[in-house]
Structure 1
Amino acid sequence: MGKIVSQIEIKSNGDVFHELWGSKPHHISKISPDKIQGCDLHGGEWGTVGSVIFWKYVHDGKAKVAKEVIDEVDEKNKTVIFRVIEGDLLELYKSFVATLHVDTTGENNLVTWTFEYGKRSDDVEDPNTLMDFVVNLTKEIETHHLK
């Protein structure tokens, strides 16, 4: 299993950022339409564990899709865990889990993205460009909320 982590300090409201990812991810395509073309609910209810979300996005200049299950939504600790169950990522990885954590205890808020993954082969690269994608998406969301 591989693991990469990235932290981004944001000045926008951390509670709103957590709520967006935890229960309103379908709003992200309106905030960043060049990166996220769609986010549809395929099962369950927005913001609940076990819900299935289908993403359409552009990564490295290519249209991609991902179907994810929400494994955890922790309001107290502001954590959301997404597990990929279908889509382009599973062509490269046997498993892929993305964890979002928002720390609102400091003066500014700290967003931490963690990817845990199992490569299908040694030739597969670590998902560094995907981490860059979510970091840039985080910054776009922050800019949108600061307007």
Structure 2
Amino acid sequence: MVFLSHICSQYSSPSPIFVCSISCFLLLLLASFFTMSLAGKITTEIGVHATAAKWFNLFATQLHHVQNLTDRVHGTKLHQGEDWHHNETVKHWTYTIDGKATTCLESIESIDEQNKTITYKLFSGDIDHKYKKFKFTFQAIDKDQGGAFIKWTVEYERLAEEVDPPYGYIEYLHKCTKDIDVHLLKA
């Protein structure tokens, strides 16, 4: 405040309204740093034994098999479209998050074959009750010594501050990744 008064006094004496306005602005700015953002991103990397190529092939060309590789996915079916891996196709998923059966629709937003990356948009069902925006990004990265890292990024925007960040989805992705890795090693 002393600094502000010094600057203002060089030009004219600061009016109490001006100082109050600046003080209020600074307080609001400071308060905004302590307010939780509704949007966020959570990233996790999981070491797996199967190669990045096997992982990417499963998610890019055989996504419908995931329901047979982990008991956390109860079922999936085509909701709209005929090709499981086309970006205009919508799939219906039923799975368990935090011990609760959950449903959503999903579509592929983008596929980057060179970087073995796929981004999925999740919506409808239980997602829309908590989140305005919800995306998974899957990336398979080869390790130098064999195997791979599976990198999952969950990008979201909550509808309200009362909605928790989707940590249950990170746990779900960890468990599914471990289950699927066992099956990919056998293939």
* TM-score by shorter chain over 0.5: yes
- How many pairs were matched up? 146
> Could you say what the CA RMSD is over the residues aligned between the two structures, in angstroms?
1.4
CA deviations 1:16-52 (Å, max 9, x no partner) are 11121222121011111x2111121223312222221
Q: Which of 105, 111, 117 lines up with 2:150 in the alignment?
A: 111
Q: Which residue of 2 aligns with 1:47?
A: 85
Q: Which residue of 1 aligns with 2:99?
A: 61
Q: Which of 65, 79, 99 lines up with 1:27 in the alignment?
A: 65
Q: Which of 108, 119, 139 lines up with 1:81 in the alignment?
A: 119
CA distance in 1 between partners of 2:84 and 2:111 (Å): 11
Structure 1 unmatched runs, 5+: none
CA distance in 1 between partners of 2:92 and 2:150 (Å): 23
Report the AA paired with residue 144 of structure 1.
H
Structure 1 or 2, whichever has the larger Rg, is 2
TM-score (structure 1 length as normaliser): 0.92
Q: Which residue of 1 aligns with 2:73?
A: 36
Report the AA paired with residue 130 of structure 1.
Y
Distance apart, 1:13 and its partner CA: 2.1
Q: Which residue of 2 aligns with 1:127?
A: 166
Q: Which residue of 1 aligns with 2:53?
A: 15
Report the AA paired with residue 74 of structure 2.
Q
Distance apart, 1:86 and its partner CA: 1.1
More helix by share: 2
Structure 1 window deviating more from structure 2 (136-145 vs 97-106): it is: 97-106
CA deviations 1:85-106 (Å, max 9, x no partner) are 2121221111101100111253
SS of match in other structure, 1:87: coil
Q: Which residue of 2 aligns with 1:100?
A: 138
Q: Which has the higher contact order (CA 8 A, sep 6+)?
A: 1
CA contact (8 A) 1:71 1:81 kept: yes
CA distance in 2 between partners of 1:78 and 1:3 (Å): 20
CA contact (8 A) 1:47 1:73 kept: no
SS of match in other structure, 1:12: coil
More strand by share: 1
CA distance in 1 between partners of 2:94 and 2:163 (Å): 22
TM-score (structure 2 length as normaliser): 0.73
Report the AA paired with residue 168 of structure 2.
T
